[in-house]
Structure 1
Amino acid sequence: MAAFQLLFLLSVGCSVAFARPPQTPRAPLHLRPCQVVQMDVLCSDLSLRGVPINLPRQVQMLDLSRNQVQNLTEETLGFHTGFHRLNLHSNRIHFIQPGLFRDMKDLRVLDLSKNHLNVFAHSKINVGPLTAVEFLDLSNNGLYTGMSDFFLAESPSLANLSLNSNSITKITRNTFGGAASLRKINLHNNVILEIEDGAFDSLDNLTELDLSKNSITCILDFNLFNLAFLNLSKNSVEFFQSVESNVSFKLRSLDLSENKLLYFPLLPENNVLEFLDVSRNRLQTVNNTGGPENQTNLIFHHLRYLDMSYNKFKSIPEYFINCMKSLEVLNVSNNCIGSFSATSKGLLHKVKIINLSYNSLQSLTFGKNTLPSLKKLFLQGNDLSILDHQIFQRLPSMKYLQLQQNNLKICGSEQNQLEPTLTNQKNSSGCVSFSSVCNLHFLYLSENNLKTLPAGAFTNTPLKLLDLSLNPGLDIHKDSLSGLEHTLVHLVLRENNMSSLNPDLSLLKCLKHVDLSTNQLNTLPTWSKESAIESLNLQNNNLVTLDHSTILALEHSLKTLYMGFNPLSCCDNLAFLHMMQHSSVIVPDIEIVTCVHSEHSEPVNIERVTKEMCHQPPPTNYTLVVVAVFSVLVVLAVLLGVCCCYRRTKHRRGFRA
Structure 2
Amino acid sequence: MALAVLLFLLCCELTDSRPSRPVPSSCTVIQMKVFCSDLALHSAPQDLPQDIHTLDLSCNQLQNLSQESLAFHTNLHHLNLHGNKIHFIQPGLFAGMTQLKILDLSRNHLNAFAVHKTQIGPLGTIESLDLSSNGLYTGMTDYFLNDSPLLVNLSLSGNSITKISSDAFRGSLSLRNVNLHNNVIMEIEDGAFDLLDHLSDLDLSKNSINCITDFNLYNLRSLNLSQNSLETFQSSPSDEIYQLLSLDLSQNKLPLLPLIPRKNKLEYLDISRNQIQGVNVTGSYSGQIFFLCTCLVPAPSLTKHHTCFYHLRYLDMSYNNFQSLPESLFYTMMSLEVLNVSNNCITSFSLSRDLLPKVRILNLSENFLQTFQITPETLPSLEELYLNRNSLTTLGFQTFKSLPNLRVLHLQENNIHICPHNILDNSESCVSFESIPNLEYLDLSENNLQRIPSGAFRNTPLKHLDLSLNPGLVLHRDSFSGLENSLVHLFLKENNITALNSDLSLLTNLKYVDLSTNQLTTLPMWNRESSIESLNLQNNNLVTLDYSTVLALERSLKTLYVGSNPLSCCSNLPFLNMLQHSAVVVPDIEAVTCVYLEDSEPVNIEKVTQEMCENLQNGSVNVIMIVVVALVLIIMLILLIKCCQSRKRKRNRSYRA
Scaled by the length of structure 1, the TM-score of the pair is 0.90
Q: Counterparts in 2 of 1:50-61, with a 5 A limit?
A: 50-61=43-54
Q: Counterparts in 2 of 1:426-437, with a 5 A limit?
A: 427-437=426-436
Q: Determine if the alignment matches structure 1 residue 353 to structure 2 residue 354.
A: no
- Contact 1:302 / 1:326 at 8 angstroms: preserved in 2? yes
**Aligned residue type for 1:438:** P
Partners of 2:165 and 2:150 in 1: how far apart?
21
Find the counterpart in structure 2 of residue 125 from structure 1: 118
**Cα 1:248/1:620, change in 2 over 3 Å:** closer
Partners of 2:150 and 2:606 in 1: how far apart?
68
**Cα 1:383/1:541, change in 2 over 3 Å:** same
| 1:102-134 C-alpha deviation (Å, 9 max, x unpaired) | 111100000000111111111111111111100
- Contact 2:71 / 2:97 at 8 angstroms: preserved in 1? no
**Aligned residue type for 1:350:** K
Matched position secondary structure for 1:554:
helix
- Contact 2:50 / 2:74 at 8 angstroms: preserved in 1? no
**Cα 1:365/1:619, change in 2 over 3 Å:** closer
Partners of 2:370 and 2:200 in 1: how far apart?
44
Q: CA deviation at 1:16?
A: 8.3
Matched position secondary structure for 1:120:
helix
1:243 to 236, 261, 277: 236
1:383 to 383, 391, 404: 391
**Aligned residue type for 1:214:** N
- Contact 1:53 / 1:78 at 8 angstroms: preserved in 2? no
Matched position secondary structure for 2:3:
helix
Partners of 1:512 and 1:160 in 2: how far apart?
50
- Contact 2:50 / 2:72 at 8 angstroms: preserved in 1? no
Find the counterpart in structure 1 of residue 400 from structure 2: 392
1:310 to 319, 322, 326: 319
Matched position secondary structure for 1:617:
helix
Find the counterpart in structure 1 of residue 491 from structure 2: 492
Q: CA deviation at 1:479?
A: 1.0
| 1:110-169 C-alpha deviation (Å, 9 max, x unpaired) | 000011111111111111111110000000011111100110000010000000010111
2:62 to 66, 69, 75: 69
**Aligned residue type for 1:601:** S
Find the counterpart in structure 1 of residue 424 from structure 2: 418
**Cα 1:412/1:27, change in 2 over 3 Å:** same
Partners of 1:156 and 1:406 in 2: how far apart?
60
Partners of 2:68 and 2:13 in 1: how far apart?
16
Partners of 1:613 and 1:120 in 2: how far apart?
77
Partners of 1:74 and 1:525 in 2: how far apart?
80
Partners of 1:150 and 1:290 in 2: how far apart?
46
Partners of 1:271 and 1:329 in 2: how far apart?
19
Find the counterpart in structure 2 of residue 645 from structure 1: none
Q: Counterparts in 2 of 1:83-102, with a 5 A limit?
A: 83-102=76-95
| 1:210-262 C-alpha deviation (Å, 9 max, x unpaired) | 00000111111211000000000000111111111111100000000000111
| 1:412-466 C-alpha deviation (Å, 9 max, x unpaired) | 11xx4314xxxxxxx4311111111111100000000111111111111111010
Partners of 2:409 and 2:598 in 1: how far apart?
52
Find the counterpart in structure 2 of residue 533 from structure 1: 532
**Cα 1:227/1:289, change in 2 over 3 Å:** farther
**Cα 1:432/1:620, change in 2 over 3 Å:** closer
Matched position secondary structure for 2:2:
helix
Partners of 2:224 and 2:334 in 1: how far apart?
24
**Cα 1:253/1:289, change in 2 over 3 Å:** farther
Find the counterpart in structure 1 of residue 473 from structure 2: 474
Q: Counterparts in 2 of 1:146-295, with a 5 A limit?
A: 146-287=139-280, 295=289
Structure 2 portions without partners, runs of 5+: 294-306, 631-657
Partners of 2:73 and 2:542 in 1: how far apart?
75
Q: Counterparts in 2 of 1:448-597, with a 5 A limit?
A: 448-597=447-596
- Contact 1:108 / 1:135 at 8 angstroms: preserved in 2? yes
Partners of 2:394 and 2:203 in 1: how far apart?
45
Find the counterpart in structure 2 of residue 11 from structure 1: 8
| 1:368-403 C-alpha deviation (Å, 9 max, x unpaired) | 111110000000000211111110101110000000
Q: CA deviation at 1:467?
A: 0.1
**Cα 1:11/1:555, change in 2 over 3 Å:** same
Partners of 1:222 and 1:181 in 2: how far apart?
21
Q: Determine if the alignment matches structure 1 residue 617 to structure 2 residue 610.
A: no
Partners of 2:607 and 2:595 in 1: how far apart?
12
Q: CA deviation at 1:621?
A: 7.8
Query: Percent identity over the alignment?
Result: 61
The farther-off stretch of 69-78 and 485-494 is 69-78
**Aligned residue type for 1:418:** L
Q: CA deviation at 1:70?
A: 0.6
Matched position secondary structure for 1:545:
coil
- Contact 1:262 / 1:281 at 8 angstroms: preserved in 2? yes
Q: CA deviation at 1:265?
A: 1.1
Q: Determine if the alignment matches structure 1 residue 28 to structure 2 residue 28.
A: no
**Cα 1:294/1:597, change in 2 over 3 Å:** same
Partners of 1:515 and 1:103 in 2: how far apart?
67
Q: CA deviation at 1:300?
A: 0.3
Q: Determine if the alignment matches structure 1 residue 328 to structure 2 residue 337.
A: yes
**Aligned residue type for 1:119:** A
**Aligned residue type for 2:532:** I
- Contact 2:237 / 2:262 at 8 angstroms: preserved in 1? no
**Cα 1:619/1:83, change in 2 over 3 Å:** closer
Matched position secondary structure for 2:519:
coil
Partners of 2:228 and 2:64 in 1: how far apart?
36
Partners of 1:338 and 1:622 in 2: how far apart?
72
| 1:45-95 C-alpha deviation (Å, 9 max, x unpaired) | 111111122101111111011111111112222632221110000111111
Q: CA deviation at 1:591?
A: 0.6
**Cα 1:334/1:252, change in 2 over 3 Å:** same
Partners of 1:257 and 1:280 in 2: how far apart?
6
- Contact 1:206 / 1:227 at 8 angstroms: preserved in 2? yes
Matched position secondary structure for 1:369:
coil
- Contact 1:50 / 1:77 at 8 angstroms: preserved in 2? no
- Contact 2:34 / 2:55 at 8 angstroms: preserved in 1? yes
Q: CA deviation at 1:291?
A: 5.9
Q: CA deviation at 1:10?
A: 2.2
**Aligned residue type for 1:362:** Q
